[in-house]
Amino acid sequence: SQELEQSPQSLIVQEGKNLTINCTSSKTLYGLYWYKQKYGEGLIFLMMLQKGGEEKSHEKITAKLDEKKQQSSLHITASQPSHAGIYLCGARAYNTDKLIFGTGTRLQVFP
C-alpha cells in the first residue's frame, strides 16, 4: 500500500526564519495536496500540485512537486506566529479512490 512520510515530525522556529517541510511517497503521486490544521480545528486546503516539477505559491508559502512525482516540499518564508499549526500532505493512493494523508508536521513559531 502507498504511504506518505513527512519530515520533520515537529519544528520549532523563531519568527522571521524560513523553513521547509517534506512529504515523501512510496509510490508515484497523482495529485498532491497540502493542508494546514490549526490546533483543535479542521483542515484548511492550501494548494494542490499535479505535474512533475510543478511549483505553486500563496502568500509566503511555496509548494513544489519533484520531477519524479514522489516527493513534495512546502517552504515558508519569513515565518510568522500565524503559520503555526499542523501541516499535512495528502494524495490519491496509487490505483485507488482513496485519499490518504501523511503523518503531519507540527510547526511552532515563537516571537
Partner 1 sequence: NAGVTQTPKFQVLKTGQSMTLQCAQDMNHEYMSWYRQDPGMGLRLIHYSVGAGITDQGEVPNGYNVSRSTTEDFPLRLLSAAPSQTSVYFCASSYSGVAPGTEAFFGQGTRLTVV
38 binds partner 1 (CB under 8 A): no
In angstroms, rounded to a whole number, what is the distance separating the alpha carbons of residues 64 and 52?
9
Do the Cβ atoms of 2 and 94 come closer than 8 Å? yes
Residue choice 12, 17, 26, 45 for contact with partner 1 (CB under 8 A): 45
Grid coordinates belonging to 81 = 506566529
Residues 6+ apart with CB under 8 A from 28: 68, 69, 70, 94
CB of 14 or CB of 51, closer to partner 1: 51
CB of residue 28 to partner 1, shortest distance in Å: 12
Do the Cβ atoms of 29 and 69 come closer than 8 Å? yes
Residue bearing cell 512529504: 23
CB of residue 17 to partner 1, shortest distance in Å: 24
What character string, x for contact with partner 1 (CB under 8 A) and - otherwise, covers 72-91?
Answer: ----------------x-x-
Residues in contact with partner 1 by CB under 8 A are 1, 4, 6, 9, 30-31, 33, 35, 40-43, 45, 48, 50, 88, 90, 92, 97-104
